[in-house]
Each structure stands twice: as C-alpha cells, then as structure tokens.
Amino acid sequence: MVLPALGHRSGGRFSEVSLPRGAVERVIATQLGRQPRGLVRVAHDCPCGLPDVVETAPRLDDGTPFPTTYYLTCPRASSAVAALEAAGLMREMTARLATDPDLAAAYRDAHADYLARRARLGDVPEIEGISAGGMPDRVKCLHVLLAHALAAGSGVNPLGDEVLALVQGWWKEGPCIDTSA
C-alpha cells in the first residue's frame, strides 16, 4: 500500500530532477528490482538526486509485521555496504560493542530512536522492542544501519555513521538508474 503521505524529506533533492508524478515509485521499484512493499515515503535522497532510503510501514498490506523501517534502495550504496559486510565489518563492530561502553550506550540510544520513529508509523505488538540491524546488542545488517543514519541524520546511529564514512561517494558516477524513460 502506498500511503497518500508519500513524499520526500523536506529540502530533498529528488524533486529537483523534475520527474513526472508517480515516478518516485517507479524509480524505487527499478532500484529494488521489484515493487516496494509498505512504502510510506522517501526518507533520504542521494546526492545524485534520486531516493536512497525509504521509510516502510511496520505492517505490510498482507498483515506481515515488518521491523525494517528504513530500507536502503540505491543499488550502488547497497553494493558498497555488501562489500563491507563480506570483509567482516559486522563482526568487528559487534566485538567493539562488547568492549566500548560509550559506543554500546550510543548504539542502545540508536535502537531507542529507531523504535520511536517506527512507533509514529503504527503499533505492531508482534515486533514491539525489536528494531533492525541487530540493535541494540549486535550488528547483523549494515544496510539497515546506514539507512537509519541517512534518514535520521548524523549523530543518531554511531555505527551507521561509520558505515556512511566508509561508503561515501557511491553516487559520484551519477544516478544508479536511468530516469529518462
């Protein structure tokens, strides 16, 4: 279900590329290689001008609870993050959480922020207290952490901010898809 509130974050660049109405959903579907599920809005725009993070409903149209509120849509960003995962960054970050109390506290705060943002979209008792990406105690998906960091802004998710610093520049080759059609 695409809600009437579908839109962009204030000041986002996507609107500057002047795509026709309805193109946002087509762009996201092309990025994902499938129709988006539970789409609420574009939560962040890539510097190239296209969406790179969407906000999804906590319950999909078929009734399935969906804890992943922020979903990374840009295939270039996703590939860059996948390379970090393959290199073992999740294990390293999880180990740091066990030995750095300040980092662990900030990551717990990120978990609380994620839950609060999702709660504004609706109450789904089946996933109450469950955020995404392994929060608050481990790291199991860097894609989610990056999506949260992009949607929430710098300083909210410390590990998401680290991922962002490592993958900066995925947009430098231009948009990830052709929007001229």
Pairwise CA distance, residues 19 & 22, whole Å: 8
Degrees (nearest 5) of the Cα angle 56, 53, 179? 115
- Flag the least confident range among 21-35, 90-104, 143-157: 21-35
115-135: average pLDDT: 95
Q: What three-state secondary structure class fits 143?
A: helix
8-32 confidence digits (pLDDT tens): 443 343 334 445 557 888 999 999 9
Pairwise CA distance, residues 64 & 87, whole Å: 32
- Write down the pLDDT at residue 83: 97
Question: CA quadruple 170, 171, 174, 180: dihedral positive or negative?
Answer: positive
Residue 181 pLDDT level (bands cut at 50, 70, 90): low
- Residues listed for the chain: 181
128-150 confidence digits (pLDDT tens): 999 998 999 999 999 999 999 99
Secondary structure, 3-state, 31-99: HHCCCCCCEEEEEEECCCCCEEEEEECCECCCCCECCCCEEECCHHHHHHHHHHHHCCHHHHHHHHHHH
76-92: average pLDDT: 97
Report domain extents, the chain: 14-167
Question: CA quadruple 30, 11, 142, 133: dihedral positive or negative?
Answer: negative
